[in-house]
């Protein structure tokens, strides 16, 4: 059942590292690839239609920037996501691969097509001047790239939507007869796809406006033309992604909606949910102020307004991704698998039979709790059930959560993790003896500064240890 090695990241923690990588990848994959391809295809089409060499040259310069972002940063962060998710929660990615294997395979094929056409489009742009038949061929390459990049996002969005709203898949006879189409067409797919599509175009337009300001310092007429083009696209997208965002929010389970404002800020400020509103209004104001200023007065608007607009749009999508991850808790796949990789249906069985009994990478001598091995067993339980969200002394430290509590108090708290006070935490899974072992280990953290008797001698296994 838990046949995966343990990989612990002591200070920064798994979820924060993954968040940095994933959000950066969203900026590139959505903004530079999907949105960027759409606005540059539009820009190139207008240049061809009007035989506008200056707009064509500007479009190429913007494409060069997006090309570097997509092929360098985008590729690295995409690989990073796969590495991180396999380390953090292999059970979850395994479940998603089983459900969406062929969809993911198709996405991989389309992604390769997308990269081929991006390279082809970029490398042949200058070979076909305006007014030649080859320019239309080059435009078709860009159009194919735009369609392929959007299609990859559509498939990935279906999988992300499934994690929040699995739909009728959970009502099927899994694993014997899972309803894969119900999983694909889950309730939040279309609204989330619309939201991401129009945000992607808006962010790419904002980025193009900033780049236009930088590339047109000596040509105010070109700046005005391009700013009006990209600014008009951005302003047109705003009401559309607001509409799709509201539709997407409406698909959330009620328990997820209840966590929405807490997810938008932090738990420490949960008593002041209005702070989340202030943050959203401030970020939205940054986008609108910059977009309107650059659109209405493109020749005179300062660069800092463009930077402000870009930061505001990045802040909004960063907040969206943070909220989307947080409100799904205590699950990684809603109603099916908890954030720590335990399937909901397995909890009663594991509570009776024992959690560690099924942990293949834990040495056999630590799969049954004894008085002698209790602390080491407790550390294994921490690593397998708590490290997904907590570190010991770093980000979101569990040491701070148990500060001032004795073993009895910690034992009681472990039994009420998934409560009204902390509905975002998965319940502890395991026998009463395992619960006592985890409490005993956590109680040692404060007084022994994360060292406990026998730890060095036991040499608790890490990810490179495999049970023989």
* pLDDT, tens digit (0-9, with 9 covering 90-100), for 361-402: 899 999 999 999 999 999 999 999 998 889 898 888 999 999
Sorted by sequence, the CB contacts under 8 Å of residue 145 that are 6+ apart come out as 37, 114, 117, 118, 121
| 468 in a structural domain | no
Residue 176 has what pLDDT?
58
Residue 3 has what pLDDT?
65
Residues 239 and 285 in one domain: yes
pLDDT digits (tens, 9 = 90+) for 429-439: 999 999 999 99
Query: What is the distance between the terminal CA atoms of the chain, rounded to a whole angstrom?
Result: 16
Residues 116 and 241 in one domain: yes
Which CATH number do you get for residue 372? Answer: 1.10.760.10
CA 462, CA 253: separation in Å to the nearest integer?
37
Residue 173 has pLDDT above 70, yes or no: no
| 5 in a structural domain | no
Token pair 């970029």 in the structure block, residue: 122
Q: Give the end of a domain, one of 276, 307, 338.
A: 338
Residue 428 has pLDDT above 90, yes or no: yes
Residue 282 has pLDDT above 80, yes or no: yes
| 9 in a structural domain | no
What average pLDDT does the segment 12-26 reach? Answer: 86
CA 179, CA 202: separation in Å to the nearest integer?
35
Residues 329 and 377 in one domain: no
CA atoms within 13 A on the CB side of 59: 28
Residues 303 and 427 in one domain: no
| 263 in a structural domain | yes
> What residue numbers bound the domain in which 396 lies?
346-458
CA 102, CA 170: separation in Å to the nearest integer?
19
For the entire predicted model, the pTM comes to 0.88
Residue 417 has what pLDDT?
92
Residues 232 and 141 in one domain: yes
Residue 249 has what pLDDT?
93
pLDDT digits (tens, 9 = 90+) for 240-256: 999 999 999 999 999 99
Residues 192 and 53 in one domain: yes
Residue 166 has pLDDT above 60, yes or no: yes
In 67-181 the beta strands, taken as DSSP E runs, fall at none
CA 386, CA 410: separation in Å to the nearest integer?
14
Residues 184 and 269 in one domain: yes
Q: Give the end of a domain, one of 294, 317, 338.
A: 338
Residue 2 has what pLDDT?
56
Token pair 């630590």 in the structure block, residue: 366
Give the three-class secondary structure for 451.
coil
Token pair 């395994």 in the structure block, residue: 94
| 269 in a structural domain | yes
Residues 197 and 89 in one domain: yes
| 104 in a structural domain | yes
Residue 345 has pLDDT above 80, yes or no: yes
Residue 220 has pLDDT above 60, yes or no: yes
Residue 449 has what pLDDT?
53
Residues 208 and 64 in one domain: yes
CA 284, CA 269: separation in Å to the nearest integer?
21
Residues 190 and 320 in one domain: yes
Residue 268 has pLDDT above 60, yes or no: yes
Residue 85 has pLDDT above 80, yes or no: yes
Give the three-class secondary structure for 391.
strand
Residues 331 and 355 in one domain: no
| 6 in a structural domain | no
Residues 234 and 357 in one domain: no
pLDDT digits (tens, 9 = 90+) for 33-79: 999 999 999 999 999 999 999 999 999 999 999 999 988 888 889 88
Q: Give the end of a domain, one of 338, 373, 389.
A: 338
| Number of domains observed in the structure of the chain | 2
């Amino acid at each position: 059942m838990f046949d995966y090695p343990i990989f612990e990241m002591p200070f920064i923690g798994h979820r924060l590292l993954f968040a940095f990588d994933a959000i950066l990848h969203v900026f590139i994959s959505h903004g530079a690839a999907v949105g960027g391809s759409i606005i540059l295809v539009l820009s190139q089409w207008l240049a061809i239609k009007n035989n506008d060499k200056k707009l064509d040259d500007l479009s190429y310069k913007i494409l060069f920037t997006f090309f570097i972002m997509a092929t360098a940063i985008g590729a690295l962060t995409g690989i990073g996501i796969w590495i991180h998710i396999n380390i953090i929660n292999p059970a979850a990615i395994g479940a998603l691969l089983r459900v969406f294997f062929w969809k993911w395979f198709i996405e991989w094929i389309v992604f390769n097509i997308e990269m081929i056409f991006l390279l082809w489009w970029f490398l042949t742009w200058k070979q076909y001047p305006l007014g030649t038949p080859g320019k239309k061929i080059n435009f078709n390459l860009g159009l194919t790239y735009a369609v392929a990049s959007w299609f990859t996002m559509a498939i990935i969005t279906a999988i992300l939507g499934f994690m929040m709203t699995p739909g009728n898949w959970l009502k099927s006879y899994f694993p014997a007869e899972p309803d894969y189409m119900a999983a694909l067409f889950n309730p939040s797919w279309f609204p989330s796809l619309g939201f991401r599509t129009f945000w992607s175009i808006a962010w790419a337009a904002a980025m193009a406006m900033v780049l236009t300001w930088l590339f047109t310092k000596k040509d105010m007429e070109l700046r005005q033309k391009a700013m009006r083009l990209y600014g008009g696209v951005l302003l047109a997208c705003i009401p559309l992604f607001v509409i799709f965002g509201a539709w997407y929010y409406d698909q959330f389970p009620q328990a997820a909606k209840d966590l929405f404002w807490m997810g938008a800020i932090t738990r420490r400020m949960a008593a002041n949910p209005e702070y989340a509103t202030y943050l959203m209004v401030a970020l939205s104001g940054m986008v609108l102020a910059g977009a309107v200023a650059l659109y209405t007065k493109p020749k005179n608007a300062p660069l800092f307004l463009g930077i402000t607009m870009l930061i505001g749009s990045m802040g909004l999508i960063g907040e969206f991704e943070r909220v989307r991850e947080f409100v799904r808790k205590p699950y990684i796949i809603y109603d099916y698998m908890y954030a720590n990789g335990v399937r909901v249906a397995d909890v009663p069985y594991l509570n009776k039979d024992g959690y560690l009994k099924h942990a293949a990478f834990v040495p056999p001598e630590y799969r049954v709790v004894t008085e002698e091995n209790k602390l080491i067993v407790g550390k294994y339980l921490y690593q397998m059930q708590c490290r997904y969200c907590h570190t010991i002394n770093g980000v979101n430290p569990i040491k701070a959560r148990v500060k001032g509590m004795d073993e009895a108090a910690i034992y009681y708290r472990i039994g009420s993790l998934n409560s009204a006070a902390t509905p975002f935490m998965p319940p502890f899974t395991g026998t009463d003896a395992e619960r006592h072992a985890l409490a005993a280990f956590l109680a040692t953290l404060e007084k022994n500064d994360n060292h406990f008797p026998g730890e060095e001698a036991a040499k608790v296994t890490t990810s490179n240890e495999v049970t023989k």
